[in-house]
Amino acid sequence: MRVKYVMVAISWDDSYTVHVESIDRQHKKMMRLINDLYRISNDGGDDVQVEKALSSLSQYTKEHFEYEESFFEKYHYPFIKNHQKEHTNFLGTIAQITGELLNGQENDKKESINVMVSWLKNHIVSEDKQYVCFMLEHGVK
């Protein structure tokens, strides 16, 4: 029997749920895109592949942030300013990381992926989880 070993940098578990199905689905997809990037940069993927994976991640992340923020705006989420700032900063971080992933040493590459993984974990658990009641009260599914 052949066992295929799949490298992952981050994996979903129920502790990440925000109890809103559409948002959980988007967070899972963001994790998948980070794992794609991790695999490609570890497999010695060329710059074109790495750039492609990074741009998919950054594009999808932008869409996800816009999705969350659309409800913040529509229903007047009280912590919108701080949450939006976190989102903007992370998009900046992804842009910064692009250079390190393309030109950096092995260690820098690992470190860059770790930065993204930690950010996403922390953001879901400490920021996104704050809006659970707000989203549920407004019937967001």
Residues that bind Fe ion (CB under 5 A): 68, 128
Cα dihedral 42, 23, 13, 57 in deg (nearest 10): 0
Nearer to Fe ion, 36 or 128 (CB): 128
Nearer to Fe ion, 59 or 103 (CB): 59
Closest CB to Fe ion: residue number: 128
**In the complex, least distance from residue 104 CB atom to Fe ion, rounded to whole angstroms:** 27
For the residues of 58-99, what is the DSSP string, one character each? Answer: HHHHHHHHHHHHHHHHHTT-TTHHHHHHHHHHHHHHHHHHHH
**In the complex, least distance from residue 47 CB atom to Fe ion, rounded to whole angstroms:** 29
**In the complex, least distance from residue 35 CB atom to Fe ion, rounded to whole angstroms:** 17
